Amino acid sequence: MNKLTRKINTISSELYNLSLVMKGEITNDQDVHVLTLSKEIGSGEIRHTVLQAGLQVFDFNIKLNSDLEIPVDSITYKSLLFLYCLEGDCSHQFDDYEETHFIDQFQTSVIHSDEGLQSRIFISDGKKLILNIIVVNKKEYFDKFNNDSNHLDKKIQELLNDISHKRKYFHSGNHSLKIAEQLKLLIAIEYTNEISEVLSQKGRYYLILAKQIEQFCLEIDNNTNTSGLLKNELKLVTQVSDYIKEYPEVQHSIKTLCAESGLSPAKLQEGFKFMFERTVSDFVRNVRLEKAEKLIRTTDLTISEIVYSVGLTSRSYFCKIFKKKYQFSPKEYKQVNV
């Protein structure tokens, strides 16, 4: 067995085929295969994760030096592809060249083509692209659950079966911030050394797939924008949420956040209810509690020091809302997590 054959056998055939198009070095990182682009192609990496038989994920986080076409069959065939663009944009075209489908930031898409009909994803140069592709092999993944009503709703299975019988199918989905938030958490997991966080990565992918399918079914039924917000408004809402998470100690108010973002109070609240199923004030409170929980667990700060460091002024109020969320008082929580 030569060196090249040994290398192919140690990685997935899908990532190896992709590396023939996008040159780079393949390494293994905690059971995830990573294709790091060569400098002649651009910068960044593509992560490949196999969740189970018939279900795999590609995460693109790249910036190219020149335009590039990726044949979809280099990733998979006989499958449904659920795409989500977190940053940047790309496009898709079947090889019959009838129409080019643009995939915008925060937008979902669903792709299927019959065997023998090829299609391509186009990525432009000079712009960062963060693209999540969940590949579902219908034969391996969905068919074995035909008699399991607890796994997938029968209506969902009917929709997916209907798509798989079409020669080609492209669904241009609406913009979604719920999926964006889950992907941001996944990216954070990639750069942490906490074992518990790393182990939650696969569960997060299943949640993203569930949200993709849920939104897809709603759009098929209603053919409406489920968020009620425009793309630029979605982007502003996610920027506001990132700002709150980065600076939980700031005394955030609807007035200051609207002034910062340019959104009206109604749009700001609508965006947070859509994305987080919380009001803005609930979101701020939850961010502060989660930051406090981590400080209790990982630092030697006193409870009073933690209270003020996350932007709260009343220790008694903090203890009340902390116990409601975590079922322990802050002092008890610290004792059981030492």
d(CA 109, CA 101): 9
Q: How is 2-54 classified by DSSP, letter by letter? A: -HHHHHHHHS-HHHHHHHHHS-EEEEEETTEEEEEEPTTTEEEEEEEEEEETT
Total domain count for the chain?
Answer: 2
258 and 129 in a single domain? The answer is no
Residue 123's CATH number: 2.60.120.10
Per the structure, the complete domain to which residue 67 belongs is given by 3-176
Give the pLDDT of residue 51.
86
CA atoms within 13 A on the CB side of 214: 10
Residue type, 183: L
Q: Which of 112, 145, 176 is the last residue of a domain?
A: 176
122 and 33 in a single domain? The answer is yes
d(CA 3, CA 135): 29
Burial tier of 221 (Cβ tally within 10 Å: 0-12, 13-18, 19+): exposed
d(CA 195, CA 198): 5
Residues 6+ apart with CB under 8 A from 324: none
Q: Does the residue 306 lie in any domain? A: yes
Token digits of residue 45: 């990496």
Q: What is the pLDDT along the chain (338 residues), one digit of tens a residue?
A: 344 433 444 567 788 888 888 889 998 876 789 999 999 999 999 999 888 888 889 999 999 999 999 888 777 767 889 999 999 999 999 886 668 899 988 889 998 877 667 889 999 999 999 999 998 887 777 665 555 544 555 666 676 777 767 778 888 888 888 888 888 888 776 655 555 555 678 888 988 988 888 888 878 766 554 556 777 888 888 889 999 999 999 999 999 999 989 999 988 988 888 778 889 999 999 999 999 999 998 899 999 999 999 999 899 999 999 999 999 999 999 888 76
Give the pLDDT of residue 18.
87
Q: Which of 176, 210, 242 is the last residue of a domain?
A: 176
Residue 269's CATH number: 1.10.10.60
158 and 258 in a single domain? The answer is no
Q: Which of 148, 176, 204 is the last residue of a domain?
A: 176
Q: Does the residue 327 lie in any domain? A: yes
